[in-house]
Amino acid sequence: MPKITIDGKEFEFEKGESILQVAERNGIEIPHFCYHKDLPWAGNCRMCQVEVEKMPKLVISCATVAQDGMVVHTNSPRVRKAVRGVLEFLLLNHPIDCPICDQAGECYLQDYYMKYGLHDSRIDLSEKVRKRKAIRLGDMIVLDTERCVLCSRCIRFCEHITKTGEFGFSYRGNRTEIGTFYDAVVDNPYSGNLVDICPVGAITSRDFRFKCRVWFLESTETICPSCSTGCNIFLDTKDGIAYRIRPRYNPDVNKSWICNEGRLSYKLLNDEARLLQHLEKENGAYKSLSYENAIEKTTEKIKRIVSSNNEKVLAIASPDATNEDIYLFKKVFSHYIRTPHIYLGETSGKEDAEKREDQILRRIDKHPNTMGAIFMGISTPPGGKLTPQKAAEIIKANDIKMLYFMSPSLIKEGENSEEFINALKGVELIIIHSMFVVPSNFPVNYVFASSSYAEVSGTFTNYAGKVQRIKKALPNKGDARGHYEILQDILFEISGEKRYEKVEEIFEEIKREYEQFSNL
């Protein structure tokens, strides 16, 4: 392979890589504004200049293709002087907004000034060119043209990624601005990414604006639960509250992007309507139970029904649950209770999981683990999606005595016909896991308060069969428990099988039992 020497160290590189890409891959910092790994090269900020031996002038490393035998210096006196000069030009008319700017703490300009600049301004504050500020461009973003360094990332994103072309340059010289035509709104479903790729505070998030300083946030690497793509994300939290979701780079799944729907899905985690206690319904009214009492009462009734009617149990798994949750669900209902009626709710299965909603990331199936359930042998009932009407047919045809919902999806869909409600009234025992209170007019006996994906650890399997890890980022709300915790305690009570100490132990069992997971 060809080799290049950067700052005295020799590196191999792939044909077509730029000097900046080789340096970045090998942990060598070259300052830059316009370059972004998932956007076409622009070469207009001039911050990434480096010195290449035998070349008469400095070159921009983002748009200079690496050559075999090339010797590069990223921190020579000539380079430092050039970078300092570029910074001075960029800061000439830049506002002193750092104390009120949302980008503070994540700002390239701040960091580079402290590392490469530290110069005094040569002009008086009164001489700075003023531009338009705080322009709302739709529901997602706010534009501050005065803070812009004209890197053109936003323009290239809208031109090459979303292909919607909202942004462009206007005016000339030191009056040049980015913006949309007559401040038209930017309403494409990926507009939130403009906040992430802006290297300064020119484009900020309307949702996150002024909520929290970023250095107070704790970032957890996890997976977006909003569809079957399984985008890699950072979930940023503080004091048990979720503040935002940001994309996490994965070249095989989502690159550097996420959709707006996934970005805003964190709000569900903070919903004040979250169920904090386990519930039992008596005489049409809910009363709260301790977790231990809820497990004791439900398992006692499960054992009584199953002892004579194990084939009259309907168990509905959730494609929003982790692989570990679904594995234990199947273990309870297939291996021990041995009911033939185990189905996957809320989805049309593999067909929906693979179907695109657009040509970037979004998919029709709005669940993160449909494929995980299918790999473990749980699928939709014959004839397609498990709708309330389909569930009513199964209940009547099989004289179902016990119904176990892993989530209340059939209840939330608003399709609860009189036929469905009447069918449920004939069921002796109905148990539901839910993050929210189930409507009191719905026939149910026990509701387990369940944790969200952000309150547990485990794995999801995306539409392509890629298994990805989610990590616990928040404490449980109230007395809520993860699906796998509830199911393993039920499993212990009905079978005596030992409890797992860690969720990783469950995944090791999955690997041994299912071929699709065996090589992980």
Q: What is the pLDDT of residues 405-419, one digit of tens each?
A: 999 888 754 556 678
Averaged pLDDT for residues 469-488? 98
302 and 392 co-located in one domain: yes
Strand partners of residue 315: 342, 404
Contact 451, 468 (CB under 8 A): no
Place of tokens 């797992």: 500
3-state SS class at 487: helix
Q: Provide the residue range defining the domain that includes 129.
A: 119-270
205 and 343 co-located in one domain: no
81 and 127 co-located in one domain: no
End residue of a domain, out of 236, 270, 304: 270
**CA-wise closest residue to 353 among 343, 345, 363:** 363
In three-state form (DSSP H/G/I as H, E/B as E, the rest C), the secondary structure along 245-256 is EEECCECCCCEC
User: What pTM was computed for the model?
Assistant: 0.94
Token pair of 299 as six digits: 């398992």
Strand partners of residue 220: 235
What is the reported pLDDT for 347? 79
Q: What is the pLDDT of residues 369-392, one digit of tens each?
A: 999 999 999 999 988 889 888 999
Q: What is the pLDDT of residues 149-203, one digit of tens each?
A: 999 999 999 999 999 999 999 999 999 999 999 999 999 999 999 999 999 999 9
**CA-wise closest residue to 328 among 310, 315, 314:** 315
Q: Quick one: 87 exposed, middle or buried, by C-beta within 10 A (0-12, 13-18, 19+)?
A: buried
| Number of domains, the chain | 3
Contact 139, 206 (CB under 8 A): yes
21 and 166 co-located in one domain: no
Cα 511 to its chain centre, rounded Å, is 25
Give the Cα separation of 463 and 453 in Å (integer): 18
Note whether residue 369 is domain-resident: yes
Token pair of 105 as six digits: 């703490």
509 sits in which H/E element: helix 503-513
Contact 59, 50 (CB under 8 A): yes
The domain that holds 369 is classified in CATH as 3.40.50.740
Averaged pLDDT for residues 428-434? 97
What is the reported pLDDT for 326? 98
What is the reported pLDDT for 414? 52
Q: What is the pLDDT of residues 104-153, one digit of tens each?
A: 999 999 999 999 988 888 888 888 999 999 999 999 999 999 999 999 99
What is the signed CA dihedral for 238, 244, 248, 254, rounded to 10 degrees? 150
Give the Cα separation of 322 and 225 in Å (integer): 10
End residue of a domain, out of 248, 270, 292: 270
Q: How far apart are the first and last CA of the chain?
A: 30
**CA-wise closest residue to 375 among 520, 200, 174:** 520
Give the Cα separation of 360 and 342 in Å (integer): 34
In three-state form (DSSP H/G/I as H, E/B as E, the rest C), the secondary structure along 421-483 is HHHHHCCCEEEEEECECCCCCCCCCEEEEECCHHHCCEEEECCCCCEEEECCCCCCCCCCECH
Token pair of 11 as six digits: 């590196």
Q: What is the pLDDT of residues 79-95, one digit of tens each?
A: 999 999 999 999 999 99
The domain that holds 72 is classified in CATH as 3.10.20.740
Beta strand pairing call for 402-405 and 429-434: parallel
How many percent of the chain have pLDDT more than 90?
Answer: 85
Note whether residue 38 is domain-resident: yes
247 and 282 co-located in one domain: no
What is the reported pLDDT for 519? 84
Q: Compute the mean pLDDT over every residue in the chain, rounded to the nearest whole number.
A: 94
User: What confidence tier does 352 reach under pLDDT thresholds 50, 70, 90?
Assistant: confident
35 and 128 co-located in one domain: no
For CA atoms 172, 176, 182, 188, give the dihedral sign: positive
Give the Cα separation of 6 and 19 in Å (integer): 9
Instruction: Give Cβ neighbours of residue 50 (< 8 Å, ≥ 6 apart).
Output: 19, 30, 58, 59, 61, 64, 72, 73, 74, 79
